[in-house]
A and B are shown apart, each in its own frame.
Chain A
Amino acid sequence: MSAKHNIKRGVSLYSFQEEYFLRKMSLEDIIATTEKLDIPGIEIIPDQMIVGYPNIPDDFVKKWHGWMEKYGRTPVCIDMFLDWNKYKGRVMSDDERIESIKRDIVNANKLGCTVIRVIHDVEPDILEKLEPTARKYNVKLALEIHAPSYFDSELEQRLVKMFKKVQSPYLCFTLDLGVFVKKLPRVSAERFVRDGMKKSIATYLMEAYDSGTLPSSHQLGKPNEALMAKVREMGGTEDDVYMALMGTHMICADPKMMLEYMPFTSHIHGKFYEMLPDYTEYSIPYDQIIPVLIEGGYNGYIDSEYEGNRWIQDAFPVDSTEQIRRHQVMLKRLLGEE
């Protein structure tokens, strides 16, 4: 396969959260590992791995660029959050939200990043007001589309309308590939059973999800009453109901729809839950997704984003490095690099 494209590979350091949390790997260890794994681009969640964020000490900035040079990596993206509920008794005003994101833009620029993954609860008019700052610092504001939302969801459609009006490359989307979950991650269903879910319910969840027959209320932000009733009917406890809701909060969208919105898509999270020894992902059909990105002329990064640790850490050792390695081998194959 050698279709011409300009898609680049990266990794979100989020993928190493287990080892970092447990202090088994330092930030430098992680960056050194990305070199060993031959992953060119680096994405970081500053709140996760930069102590004191949003105040980044100058000596950290120096160290960061030193690591990028030493290990030959390219800083790509930071992931921001807008903690609009952090002041007691009130929510942040629009001006405060704008100031908070402006600070992220300046910080991204300090770290050499050209993309910010914008958390998915920022309104279009706020992003629009930030366009001049984004332009000034050459940082794209890429709001994350994350399951259960997709391009055709309500907020995303309002954003598209604004993108079309403003016509700026600095206002765009990050797409999380977790919107293409074709099979329920078995690591999650197995965890539910270890946590006490009746096996018949876990099996039902997997079979119903995979066959597209899981009851759904299809309303964002509303509890899936139909599924709750079904789990109770099967003898499930309230804990089972909670796990079933959390564990099936996924969608299997149509990859072809990406084509229409490709001009607005600047960044991609290559979400994965379980890379198998044969270099395929258990739940997400990458072989049906990457060709669409190539066809549509996507030219940003695909950053590996491992999110399986939370499902297995109770019973198995987590080896994020090996999972990321397998994911990158798969990306290289699908991108025709090897």
Chain B
Amino acid sequence: MFDRYMIVGEEFKNVKDGGKVTGFQVGIRLPYYRGVVLSLIGDMVISVDGEKIPTDKMKVTIGGKTLPLSQLEHEPVAKWEFGNTGILTVDKPGGLKAGEHVVEYKQHMKISYVPSGFWGQDKKTLQITD
């Protein structure tokens, strides 16, 4: 429904902690037409330059809350509002090399009235500038 808007390139950059590059981040939006509680967010599959990021290396920040992906299914109250951009942070010491990267994002939505839910996907070529 909103597949082409799922990856928010403006938020794509390496992240630093205490002067050291600890990983990178990318902005993401859900492919659904309403806001949902976090427990309805299914599998998130992210890859950069064809390499899939292990789930336990990612966390997501939405509405002021930062959670490991494994925590999402335990959150039946906190919401991800429609159209809001979340920040997905990937733990990767050294981050990504400056230059072009192909980012792919697939998102499963566990929507009760759609048998087995549905997937959205986006793919964008983005730049790391630092």
Contact = CB atoms under 8 A, between A and B. Distances in A.
Interface of A: 14, 17, 20-23, 45, 47-49, 51-53, 81-88, 119-121, 221, 310, 313-314
Given A23-B83, A45-B34, A87 B4 contact: no
B83 A81 contact: no
A contact patch SS: loop
B82 A48 contact: yes
B112 A121 contact: yes
Interface stretch (B17-25, B35-43, B95-103): B35-43
Contacts of B79: 52-53
A123 to B, nearest CB: 13
Contacts of A83: 36-37, 40, 112
Nearest to A46: B34
B5 A85 contact: no
28 contacts: A17-B33, A20-B82, A20-B83, A21-B29, A21-B82, A21-B83, A22-B83, A45-B33, A45-B34, A48-B33, A48-B34, A48-B35, A51-B35, A51-B81, A53-B79, A82-B112, A83-B40, A83-B112, A84-B112, A86-B37, A86-B39, A86-B40, A87-B76, A88-B74, A88-B76, A120-B113, A121-B112, A313-B5
A88 B73 contact: yes
Interface of B: 1-5, 29, 33-37, 39-40, 73-74, 76, 79, 81-83, 110, 112-113, 115
Contact of B35 (A23, A47, A84, A85): A47
B63 to A, nearest CB: 9
Contacts of B110: 85
A49 B82 contact: yes
Contacts of A84: 112
Please provide the 7 A-B residue pairs with the shortest distance between their CB atoms, ordered closest to farther. A47-B34, A21-B83, A86-B76, A48-B34, A85-B112, A310-B1, A121-B113
A121 B112 CA distance: 9
Contacts of A221: 115
Contacts of B36: 47, 83
A73 B115 CA distance: 37
Nearest to B38: A86
A23 B29 CA distance: 13
Given A81-B112, A85-B40, 13 more contacts: A20-B83, A21-B29, A23-B83, A45-B33, A45-B34, A51-B35, A52-B79, A83-B112, A85-B112, A86-B40, A86-B112, A120-B113, A121-B113
Contacts of B2: 21, 310, 313
Contacts of A45: 33-34
Nearest to A309: B1
Nearest to A92: B112
Contacts of A52: 79
A121 B113 CA distance: 6
A20 B81 CA distance: 12
Contacts of B39: 86-88
Contacts of B74: 88
B37 A81 contact: no
A318 to B, nearest CB: 11
A304 to B, nearest CB: 16
B67 to A, nearest CB: 14
Nearest to A21: B83
Given A21-B83, A82-B112, A119-B113, A313 B4 contact: yes
B62 to A, nearest CB: 13
A81 B115 contact: no
B122 to A, nearest CB: 10
B88 to A, nearest CB: 19
Contacts of A310: 1-2
A156 B33 CA distance: 25
A219 B76 CA distance: 33
A323 B50 CA distance: 39
A310 B39 CA distance: 25
B4 A314 contact: yes
A250 to B, nearest CB: 16
Q: Which of B37, B73, B81, B112 counts the most A-chain CB atoms under 10 A from its CB?
A: B112
Q: Which of A83, A121, A314 counts the most B-chain CB atoms under 10 A from its CB?
A: A83
A22 B37 contact: no
Q: Which of B29, B34, B74 counts the most A-chain CB atoms under 10 A from its CB?
A: B34
